[in-house]
Amino acid sequence: MRAVVGLQDVELPDPEPGPRDLLVRVEAVSVNPVDVKQRASGVQKVLGYDASGVVTEVGADVGLFRVGDEVYYAGALDRPGTNAELHLVDERIAGHKPRSLTFAEAASLPLTTITAWESLFDRFRLAPDSTGTLLVLGAAGGVGSMIIQLARALTRVTVVGTASRPESREWARGLGAHDVVDHRHLPEAVDFVFSPHTAGQIETFARILRPGGQITAIDEPPGLDLLPLKEKSISFHWELMFTRSLFETPDMVVQHELLDRVADLVDAGTVRHTMTRELGPIAAVQLREAHQMVEEGHMTGKVVVAGW
């Protein structure tokens, strides 16, 4: 099969599915900061997490999918990545692709959707009747874009995003943010903070959060000092969407279920895809361009690479 190792085109043997695996012919992939981070580390492996495609073979114990099903998913940290013509994924972390989307559009969603869902409903434990103010840092990025949409669709919280450029502010408002502010002028008295950029922010969070407030972070700044949060009894959560697949937790199938739920929301017109750039075909040259776009740090939405 054709694949991209690091950012070099190669030929590799076709993979063989395990008992719970789907063998997927990949039609589109998207690039996330985690892809850039892995490539920069010098690791020589097939990179990539987000993908959409068609099931071509199933393992002996698969019960959620059939050959011919269109799927979308975010892969796993400890398995070869999605930048390949054929890819194996555990059925419990894959969802049925939204019928209303192209493969490219669908590939923009899985990793950010799972991260956003787990942040809102596993970490903050929000419910349909939850209220309060949610501050979303980096609201125009991939995860921020999904946090806004899911919070608006499935809760009653007030969503305030941060964005610094006019086009980013317009994007966040278009997704449903009640308000969008510059990151240098954060609102006071918020209840929840979603943070992809936590370094140097803990004292600020301690100031703007109400007593008993909560933070969910997806980055990993070294030497993080959480002591300023104690006085207000502020909770700090980590979110890593790969935890369930890394440890094969008993509730791993929750990711399949939430992806199917979001596919229904997309097909109903309640949630929209976040692809803003499409490149192709899936090859080293195009992936290099996509990685560069993500590295520059000015992306609104997601960049997708599609087709062979």
Contact 290, 39 (CB under 8 A): no
CB-based burial of residue 78 (10 Å sphere; 0-12 exposed, 13-18 middle, 19+ buried)? exposed
As a whole number of angstroms, the distance between CA 33 and CA 28 comes to: 17
So what's the pLDDT on residue 114?
Answer: 98
List strand residue ranges (DSSP E) for 228-270, in order.
Answer: 235-238
| β-strands 2-5, 302-306 pairing | unpaired
As a whole number of angstroms, the distance between CA 150 and CA 275 comes to: 17
So what's the pLDDT on residue 42?
Answer: 82
Question: pTM for this structure?
Answer: 0.97
- Both tokens of residue 283? 């090859």
Contact 52, 97 (CB under 8 A): yes
As a whole number of angstroms, the distance between CA 239 and CA 155 comes to: 19
List strand residue ranges (DSSP E) for 117-227, in order.
Answer: 133-136, 158-162, 179-181, 190-195, 209-217
- Whether 6 shows a pLDDT value over 90: the answer reads no
As a whole number of angstroms, the distance between CA 171 and CA 177 comes to: 9
Q: Measured between alpha carbons, how far is residue 296 from residues 39, 48, 59, 153, 292 in Å?
A: 15, 18, 40, 31, 6
So what's the pLDDT on residue 36?
Answer: 92
- Whether 27 shows a pLDDT value over 90: the answer reads yes
Alpha helix segments (H runs only) across 91-183: 103-107, 110-117, 142-154, 166-175
In the structure, what pLDDT confidence band is assigned to residue 126 with cuts at 50, 70 and 90?
Answer: very high
- Whether 40 shows a pLDDT value over 90: the answer reads no
Q: What is the mean pLDDT of residues 60-80?
A: 97
- Residue 254's φ and ψ, nearest 5 degrees, are -55, -35
So what's the pLDDT on residue 234?
Answer: 98
* Angle, helix 254-267 to helix 110-117, in steps of 10 degrees: 110
Task: Please choose, from the candidates 122, 120, 107, 126, the residue with its C-alpha nearest in 3D space to the C-alpha of residue 54.
Answer: 107
- Which helix (H) or strand (E) segment holds residue 268: the answer is none
Helix or strand or coil: residue 148? Answer: helix
Share of the chain above pLDDT 90, in %: 94
In the structure, what pLDDT confidence band is assigned to residue 44 with cuts at 50, 70 and 90?
Answer: confident
Q: Name beta bridge partners: 21.
A: 90
- Whether 297 shows a pLDDT value over 90: the answer reads no
As a whole number of angstroms, the distance between CA 93 and CA 294 comes to: 25
- Residue 232's φ and ψ, nearest 5 degrees, are -95, 10
So what's the pLDDT on residue 240?
Answer: 98
Helix or strand or coil: residue 240? Answer: coil
Q: What is the mean pLDDT of residues 196-219?
A: 97
In the structure, what pLDDT confidence band is assigned to residue 205 with cuts at 50, 70 and 90?
Answer: very high
- Residue 31's φ and ψ, nearest 5 degrees, are -110, 130
Cβ atoms within 10 Å, residue 44? 8
Kindly report the average pLDDT of the chain as a whole number.
97
- Both tokens of residue 247? 């440890």
